[in-house]
Amino acid sequence: MTAKPDVRYTPEEYLKMERDAACKSEYFNGEIFAMAGASRKHNLLTLNISSGLHQQLRKKECEVYANDMRVKVSSTGLYTYPDIVVVCSSPQFDDVLSDTLLNPDVIVEVLSQSTEAYDRGDKFQNYRVLPSLSEYVLVHQDKSHVEHYARQSDSSWRFQEYFKPGDVFEIRSIGCELKLDDIYEKVDISGKEEVK
């Protein structure tokens, strides 16, 4: 992400510009950060996961959003676009335009070389303060490997990882299971493709 130097914006200014912009940007602490486009692998993984979740949640009071649902972390002021967001409680939005979600239950991020440190570090630190967030999933795009964080009753986070063919992991808070084989369907993890 690249910051626009020496210029500070209010959240209201950011939202006005963002809603008119051709490209997506994140906002934090007065700064706006342009977001890069996604690779082929990233898009395939996002589609495989979101369609798997959507299929399992069709008859439930849940909504699955891929790529374009902005999430606001009210207590820190971060506005960001997770790769996949699931909300099963009644969705709460920042304003009447219903384009900035406040209460995600599950967030999935597909890791790339340019965002991995941020997704694991500062971004997850912000996400952890969301009272609604129960589970956070990180998906590698250069190898079959999923990292799963689940909030415990004492607010600590339990970590599990999956990387073996045939592994299945459960996102308990929304009653879904995902197979690694399905997540990585049609995704070349041989290293031949350039990873963004």
Predicted confidence (pLDDT) per residue in 13-36, tens digit:
999 999 999 999 999 999 999 998
Q: What is the DSSP letter of 7?
A: -
Q: Which domains does the chain have, with CATH numbers?
A: 1-35 (no CATH), 38-183 (3.90.1570.10)
- pLDDT confidence of 2, banded at 50, 70, 90? low
Residues 184 and 45 sit within 8 Å (Cβ to Cβ): yes
The percent of residues above 90 in pLDDT, for the chain, comes to 88
- pLDDT confidence of 192, banded at 50, 70, 90? low
**Distance separating alpha carbons of residues 16 and 34, to the nearest angstrom:** 15
At residue 7, the pLDDT reads 86
**Distance separating alpha carbons of residues 8 and 125, to the nearest angstrom:** 22
* pLDDT reading at 195 higher than 50: no
At residue 89, the pLDDT reads 87
Q: One-letter amino acid identity for 29?
A: N
- pLDDT confidence of 190, banded at 50, 70, 90? confident
Q: Residue 19 corresponds to which tokens in the numbers above?
A: 């809603």
- Which residues 6+ apart lie within 8 Å of 189 measured at CB? 41, 141, 142, 143, 144
Question: Which pTM was predicted?
Answer: 0.92
**Distance separating alpha carbons of residues 121 and 29, to the nearest angstrom:** 17
Nearest to residue 138, comparing CAs of 106, 93, 165?
Answer: 106
Cα distances (Å, whole numbers) of residue 196 to 42, 43, 113: 8, 11, 6
Nearest to residue 106, comparing CAs of 82, 75, 129, 78?
Answer: 82
Predicted confidence (pLDDT) per residue in 133-161, tens digit:
999 999 999 999 999 999 999 999 999 99
Residues 49 and 38 sit within 8 Å (Cβ to Cβ): no
